[in-house]
Amino acid sequence: MRSRLPVLRMRRRYMIFQLEAEGEIEGKDLIKEIIASQHTLFGDIGSAKNRLHLISFDGRQGILRFHHKHMDQARATLASIHSIQGTRAALQAKGVSGTIKSATEKYLPRLCKINGDCDRRRIELKEVSGCIIRTQGLEVDLCPDDSEWTRGSDTRYLGLTSFDLCGGHEDADGTADGL
């Protein structure tokens, strides 16, 4: 079966949200409450058009997918929830993005928090320590434990190379520029 043409495909947005509750909340209880709140606010037709879907939830933060034209409805749905299974709770939208990757990079400082089975590696140097987010060739993106390293920057990650980590590489000829 062929996939739809890009112009016919539904455009999606991803919202990162944070849950503040008095007790523990499971993902299935949360999505039931989100769907019930959406049906109450917008009815069957409005909720069918929005197509809310809970992508990930770790007990405190989560990712919610929705149709790009219904961002205000998705925010209103989260804001209207005040209790989940009898437990007082509040949902706060942290941000919206067009892809899951950019949403997690912008609004979740560590990808490990969204996934319970985190296999991220750590770097412990005397100057900086943190979690490796991505590696590509000789480049490493690091989320530092100390936020002072990224202060004044528009990103939460440090870009390191293998030269920073081990002090050299077999392809380097020892010149100042490392080439």
Could you give the strand order of the β-sheet that contains 87-97, starting from the edge strand earlier in sequence?
A: 53-57, 61-67, 12-21, 87-97, 83-84
Q: For the residues of 49-105, what is the DSSP string, one character each?
A: HH--EEEEE-SSEEEEEEEGGGHHHHHHHHHT--EETTEEEEEEEEEEESSHHHHHH
Per-residue pLDDT of the chain (179 residues; tens, 9 = 90+): 677 777 777 889 999 999 988 888 898 999 999 999 999 999 988 888 888 899 988 888 899 999 989 899 999 999 999 999 988 999 999 999 998 888 888 887 543 333 333 445 777 777 777 877 777 667 777 778 887 877 777 777 778 776 676 655 455 444 444 43
Cα torsion angle, 37, 43, 44, 50, sign? negative
Which phi and psi (to 5°) does residue 102 adopt? -70, -30
Q: What is the pTM of this model?
A: 0.58
Type and span of the H or E element at 144: strand 139-144
Return the domain boundaries, the chain.
12-109, 120-166
Tokens of 108: 């979740």
Report helix, strand or coil for 135: strand
CATH code that applies to domain 12-109: 3.30.70.3250
